[in-house]
């Protein structure tokens, strides 16, 4: 082959073309069958039944391709349907398996072509040693030659990868997170960033990044589209609900197959699990901030539109929920928003307490008035957040504050008159305690 390349370059190129034309048909069929088999196995995860493909992936490649590892089928025992395993976790395993199977095949074929077609023959190596500049040009020429051969040998690889990715994202939009990370990992770990496989993965990664951006936009739009029920009490909003679950529980939640998550809570748990320890957090942190900021804005909007529940209560409970969730997630990029959630919760709690105690209670009916107030607050608040006793304690503090203010005003306006309120602070503490314990 070395002699043919040097003496008969036209014949050498024709032979190379025959090789790529013949092998490309085999690789094209194998790649398509492999991806189709993977699609079927992905569909089986949802259908809870055994799947697979009778394609050529169920047999070994012929002797001409035994120089490279076979694109073997997935083992049904380790990758098959399992009701106790999350579909998203399955997709991640399946996609990682695809990338791991494709890599050695492509690399082996590339190495074979370089060696068999003498893309780095001995004479060239000697020239490379004699002239460093010429060596660099030669290396560039070799790279160009192999880059032109590999797409011809694997004509459908990129399109089939994109098809599988689109298929997985269509099943569950959260799968774009797994694809985004896995492709990043494989592109970064590639020894030759200019190789055919790295270029292919990089091209797919660009499209996946667009899918990731669209995914975040959809989550934000879903939050914007939330409208309060005008005939029912508004408690924890759908996009805030169950937000407090920590990413530590992500795996156990997946194993239980739980799907009733709030938008951001689910996004955060899934994404944190995927991107943990990854260098590619910039896009994720940006998405976090966008979504949480939107949640904060929409809590205020929904509270204003609420007709059955006071707006201050809606904001107090939901900001409290967000503060608890962000405190458990411990995401550095969200620390400022966590502090803001706490501040907003405290402000709305104080506003609600003040509004309820804005009108002084008649002195002869203090305890009765407090009992009615307790029932009113209990009706406003939801059980999920367990804020009733917190709010009641705040009302006690606010009431005592008002009591001291009125007592001071009486002493200032009517000194030495002997006029006092008919109940003292000890009476108030007893009233508040008795009412709380009786309920």
Residue 208 lies in a domain: no
Q: Which token pair is 299?
A: 């809590």
8 A C-beta contact, residue 13 and residue 66: no
CA separation for the pair 287, 277 (Å, rounded): 17
In a 3-state reduction of DSSP, which class is residue 194? coil
CA separation for the pair 322, 284 (Å, rounded): 19
Residue 398 lies in a domain: yes
Containing structural domain, residue 101: 2-203
pLDDT at 45: 65
8 A C-beta contact, residue 289 and residue 337: yes
8 A C-beta contact, residue 72 and residue 113: no
- Together in a domain, 191 and 246: no
pLDDT in tens, 146-205: 878 889 999 999 999 999 999 999 988 888 888 988 888 888 776 666 678 888 998 999
pLDDT at 68: 40
- Together in a domain, 329 and 271: yes
- Together in a domain, 254 and 287: yes
Q: Which token pair is 64?
A: 């001409």
pLDDT at 86: 65
- Together in a domain, 45 and 135: yes
- Together in a domain, 197 and 67: yes
DSSP state of 72: P
- Together in a domain, 153 and 290: no
Which of 170, 203, 236 is where one domain is finished?
203
- Together in a domain, 365 and 343: no
Burial of 91 (0-12, 13-18, 19+ CB in 10 A): buried
- Together in a domain, 243 and 172: no
pLDDT at 269: 62
CB atoms within 10 A of CB 324: 17
Estimate to the nearest angstrom the gap between the alpha carbon of 150 and the chain centroid.
Answer: 34
- Together in a domain, 338 and 382: no
- Together in a domain, 349 and 379: no
- pTM of the predicted protein model: 0.65
Q: Where are the beta strands (DSSP E) in 286-372?
A: none
pLDDT of residue 274 exceeding 70, the answer is: no
- Together in a domain, 391 and 336: no
Burial of 132 (0-12, 13-18, 19+ CB in 10 A): exposed
pLDDT at 384: 76
Q: Would you place residue 94 in the very low, low, confident or very high pLDDT band (cuts 50, 70, 90)?
A: very high
pLDDT of residue 40 exceeding 80, the answer is: yes
Write the secondary structure of 224-281 as one string of H (helix), E (strand) and C (coil).
Answer: HCCCCCCCCCCCCCCCCCCCCCCHHHHHHHHHCCCCCCCHHHHHHHHHHHHHCCCCCC
């Amino acid at each position: 082959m070395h002699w043919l390349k040097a003496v008969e370059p036209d014949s050498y190129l024709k032979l190379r073309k025959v090789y790529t034309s013949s092998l490309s048909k085999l690789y094209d069929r194998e790649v398509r069958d492999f991806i189709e088999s993977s699609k079927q196995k992905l569909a089986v995860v949802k259908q809870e039944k055994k799947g697979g493909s009778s394609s050529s992936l169920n047999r070994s490649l012929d002797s001409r391709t035994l120089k490279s590892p076979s694109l073997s089928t997935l083992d049904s025992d380790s990758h098959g349907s399992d009701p106790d395993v999350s579909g998203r976790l399955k997709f991640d395993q399946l996609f990682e398996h695809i990338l791991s199977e494709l890599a050695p095949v492509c690399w082996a074929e590339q190495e074979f072509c370089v060696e068999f077609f003498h893309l780095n023959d001995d004479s060239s190596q000697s020239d490379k040693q004699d002239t460093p500049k010429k060596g660099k040009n030669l290396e560039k020429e070799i790279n160009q030659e192999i880059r032109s051969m590999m797409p011809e040998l694997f004509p459908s690889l990129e399109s089939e990868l994109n098809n599988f990715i689109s298929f997985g994202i269509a099943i569950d939009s959260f799968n774009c997170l797994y694809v985004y990370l896995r492709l990043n990992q494989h592109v970064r770990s590639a020894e030759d960033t200019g190789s055919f496989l790295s270029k292919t993965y990089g091209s797919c990664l660009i499209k996946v990044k667009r899918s990731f951006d669209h995914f975040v936009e959809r989550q934000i739009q879903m939050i914007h589209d939330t409208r309060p029920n005008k005939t029912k009490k508004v408690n924890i909003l759908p996009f805030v609900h169950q937000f407090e679950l920590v990413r530590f529980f992500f795996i156990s939640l997946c194993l239980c197959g739980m799907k009733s998550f709030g938008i951001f809570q689910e996004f955060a748990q899934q994404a944190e699990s995927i991107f943990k320890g990854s260098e590619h957090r910039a896009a994720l942190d940006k998405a976090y901030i966008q979504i949480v900021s939107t949640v904060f804005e929409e809590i205020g909007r929904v509270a204003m539109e609420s007709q059955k529940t006071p707006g201050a209560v809606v904001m107090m409970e939901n900001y409290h929920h967000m503060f608890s969730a962000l405190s458990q997630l411990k995401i550095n990029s969200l620390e400022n928003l966590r502090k803001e959630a706490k501040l907003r919760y405290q402000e709305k709690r104080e506003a609600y307490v003040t509004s309820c105690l804005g009108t002084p209670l008649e002195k002869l009916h203090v305890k009765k008035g407090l009992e009615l107030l307790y029932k009113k607050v209990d009706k406003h608040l939801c059980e999920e957040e367990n804020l009733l006793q917190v709010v009641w304690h705040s009302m006690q503090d606010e009431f005592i504050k008002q009591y001291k203010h009125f007592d001071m005003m009486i002493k200032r306006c009517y000194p030495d008159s002997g006029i006092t309120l008919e109940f003292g602070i000890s009476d108030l503490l007893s009233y508040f305690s008795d009412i709380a314990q009786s309920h």
